[in-house]
A = this chain, B = another copy of it.
Amino acid sequence: MFDFKLLNKDKKSGARRGRITTNRGTIETPVFMPVGTRATVKSLTPEELEELGAEIVLANTFHLYLRPGDDIIASLGGLHRFMHWDRPILTDSGGFQVFSLSDLNRISEEGVEFKSPVDGSRHFLTPEKVIRIQHKLGSDIVMPLDECPPPGVDRSYVKQSLDLTLGWLERSVREFQECPDPGKQTLFGIVQGGFFEDLRLESATRSVEFDLPGYAIGGLSVGEEKEKTYSMLEVSCSILPEEKPRYLMGVGTPEDFLLAVERGVDMFDCVLPTRNARNGALLTNEGPLRIRNAEFRDDPRPVSESCDCYSCRHYSRAYLRHLYYAKELLAYRLNTIHNLHFMLGFMARLRRSIEEGRFTDFAVETRESGMLG
């Protein structure tokens, strides 16, 4: 089962407060989904994720297909049991990874050939195969294979790519409908179209024709300038049906959340909060903090006085700096807990502001607070 209910709509912006209901639990939107690429959110247990308030995590089809393999995960009872997480999981299709991580790839209408970054072996993924892999994994939300055009390519490349992705979507939908246990999983569409307004419109319009339960917006986490990125998002969202959730892929700073929620986005995923944590870059209400800084060597204060996460309740900046320099495993954990607590807490406050009809004020306050750095 998959249900999306719109609970509140902001009067002064496109911000929406919603609720997704699945067999494995509800997801309050706008939601930030921590990334557990290889069936683990790096350094944390599922119990810790639950305690932090995570309602859904993302895992990666590309990585899990290569190692340990979808057949092994299926034989062990599926991804949820494998990683000991019983709340919803969204699996990325692997398209983005094929194009960004694998050594060599060749795209054809049939699918994409690539060399594994794990062991150099050759693989061929088709839209059908990607659906079958995710069916074996048993994730709750399934993404179709798409091509994410590299930044800087010309209009004709993007147009061709868009047609390819839509052709793949059609085949994905057909394959998805043929999988056993319909209703256990939910397939989203992905809007592409690069940085061309008309192509974004075309991609969104033609994707919506498939009448899917939700739509992702892809290709906007490639490092283009904010203004261009968010005008493309706006164009995409203008076409997407109001009653379906919208998922902006791979985007994840508080500033991005504000810009995207204003334009009607409901779901986010990003590796940054967890990756930055491991690099000692911490988020606080008072602005970003680099734990490696010399000024913290004997600082008895927590990372943030306004934070009540486990790390801030029990450890000083001096201790976290010590762990970071000693490359101690606990450093990654305590920093990850802090950053996820911050991100999930920020989203909770953002949701409340929509409920209470003061999202625009919340956005202004956030921007003026110094939090964004």
Interface set of A (CB-CB < 8 Å, partner B):
38-40, 42-45, 67-68, 72, 75-77, 82-84, 297-298, 300, 310, 314-316, 318-319, 321-323, 325-326, 328-330, 332-333
One of B68, B75, B322, B333 near A43 (C-beta < 8 A)? B333
Q: Is the CB of A72 within 8 A of B298?
A: yes
The residue in chain B whose Cβ has the minimal distance to the Cβ of A84 is B314
Other-chain residue from B76, B84, B314, B333 in contact with A329 (beta carbon distance below 8 A): B333
Known contacts A84-B314, A297-B68, A329-B329; is-contact A322 B39 (Cβ 8 Å): yes
- Asked if B43 and A329 make an inter-chain contact with CB atoms under 8 angstroms apart, the answer reads yes
**In the complex, which residues of chain B have a beta carbon less than 8 angstroms from the beta carbon of A333?**
43, 45, 329, 333
Bound CA span A322–B39, Å: 9
Whether A76 pairs with B300 at a CB distance below 8 angstroms is yes
A38 B72 Cβ-Cβ under 8 A: no
Question: With A and B bound together, what is the CA distance between A319 and B84 in angstroms?
Answer: 10
Main secondary structure of the interface of A (DSSP, over half): loop
Most buried by B among A40, A75, A330, A333: A330
Question: In the complex, what residues of B have CB within 8 A of residue A315's CB?
Answer: 84
Q: Chain B residues near A300 (CB, 8 Å)? A: 75-77
Q: Assess A68 versus B318: contact at CB under 8 Å? Given A75-B298, A76-B300.
A: yes
Instruction: Give the Cβ gap from A87 to chain B, nearest Cβ, in Å.
Output: 15
CA–CA, A328 and B45, complex, Å: 12
Cα distance A67–B38 when bound, in Å?
34
**B67, B297, B316, B326: the one within 8 Å of A325 (CB):** B67
- Contact check, B45 vs A82: say whether CB atoms are below 8 A apart: no
Q: Is the CB of A67 within 8 A of B326?
A: yes
Q: Are A318 and B72 in contact (CB under 8 A)?
A: yes
Within the complex, the shortest CB–CB distance from A332 to chain B, in Å, comes to 6
Roughly how many angstroms separate A162 CA and B315 CA in the complex, as a whole number?
41
Give Cα distance in the complex from A39 to B39, angstroms.
30
Would A68 and B322 be within 8 Å (CB), given that A298-B76, A300-B76 are in contact?
yes
What is the bound-complex CA distance between A95 and B148, given in angstroms? 58
Q: How far is the CB of A278 from chain B (nearest CB, A)?
A: 8
Closest 9 CB pairs of A and B: A43-B329, A68-B322, A84-B314, A40-B330, A38-B326, A72-B298, A40-B328, A76-B300, A42-B329
CB distance from A337 to the nearest CB of B (A): 10
Residues of B within 8 Å of A45, CB to CB, are: 310, 330, 333
Please indicate the chain B residues that have their CB under 8 angstroms from the CB of A328 in the complex: 38, 40, 42
CA distance A84 to B330 in the complex (A): 12
On whether A323 and B40 interact (CB within 8 A), knowing A300-B77, A318-B68, the answer reads yes
